[in-house]
């Protein structure tokens, strides 16, 4: 398997793993903790669940997918580097690259925000508001992050395919440039005629 194919497969697999972990985190997250009345306080007791761990693993998988997505674009295949000006001279790749960056940033931000919110709810579990219902992180945040992570992985995969097309066009174009001037089979040039005189 070519190196480009391996990178593309890893980008998608890590993105899909991030998606799965975030979906499981969403399903495992309890909507509320259990309020326990104390003296002038409410202590929230939350069930032991792997939500924060799963969310953290999902974030790590997504970050690795994004890093490999960048490698897939800028890696010099077969020892032939390609400048960013040539790469981003192709508008389709330029657009997909920046959309992938934005979607990745949103996915990572949502995952981190949800993990931090969930962690704060669990660590700050003593409340002086006696009506508190012991909420957890907003329902749907892990699920939404999961789909953004999957979208990001697919966009990076598309970027890599577009990069391979750009590379092929660029280096084949150079090859054609070298062949120019040799003419079609059977062509005779004035210089050739003069040398035989």
Full pLDDT tens readout for the chain, 197 residues: 477 788 889 999 999 999 999 999 999 888 888 888 878 888 888 888 889 999 999 999 999 999 999 998 888 776 777 777 878 888 888 999 999 999 999 999 999 999 999 888 888 888 787 777 888 888 889 999 999 999 999 999 999 999 888 888 777 765 544 444 444 444 444 444 555 55
Q: Give the pLDDT of residue 88.
A: 81
In three-state secondary structure terms, 44 is strand
The answer as to whether 175 is a domain residue is no
Q: Give the pLDDT of residue 196.
A: 52
The answer as to whether 41 is a domain residue is yes
Range of the domain at 56: 3-166
The answer as to whether 191 is a domain residue is no
The answer as to whether 184 is a domain residue is no
Gap between the Cα atoms of 171 and 75, Å rounded: 15
The answer as to whether 35 is a domain residue is yes
Q: Give the pLDDT of residue 90.
A: 85
The answer as to whether 69 is a domain residue is yes
Q: In what order do the strands lie in the sheet with 34-37?
A: 34-37, 42-45, 126-127
The answer as to whether 31 is a domain residue is yes
Gap between the Cα atoms of 197 and 15, Å rounded: 69
> Domain count of the chain?
1
The answer as to whether 152 is a domain residue is yes
């Amino acid at each position: 398997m070519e190196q480009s194919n391996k990178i593309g497969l890893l980008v998608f697999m890590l993105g899909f793993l991030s998606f799965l972990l975030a979906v499981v985190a969403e399903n495992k997250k309890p909507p509320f903790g259990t309020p326990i009345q104390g003296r002038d306080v409410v202590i929230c007791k939350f069930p032991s669940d792997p939500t924060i761990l799963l969310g953290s693993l999902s974030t790590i998988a997504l970050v690795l997918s994004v890093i490999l997505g960048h490698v897939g674009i800028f890696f010099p295949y077969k020892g032939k580097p390609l400048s960013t000006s040539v790469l981003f001279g192709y508008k389709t790749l330029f657009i997909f690259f920046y959309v992938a960056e934005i979607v990745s940033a949103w996915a990572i931000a949502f995952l981190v925000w949800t993990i931090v919110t969930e962690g704060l709810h669990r660590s700050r579990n003593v409340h002086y508001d006696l009506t508190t219902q012991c909420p957890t992180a907003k329902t749907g945040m892990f699920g939404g992050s999961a789909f953004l992570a999957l979208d990001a992985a697919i966009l990076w995969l598309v970027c890599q395919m577009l990069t391979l097309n750009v590379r092929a066009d660029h280096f084949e174009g150079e090859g054609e440039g070298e062949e120019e001037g040799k003419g079609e089979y059977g062509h005779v040039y004035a210089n050739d005629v003069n040398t035989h005189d």
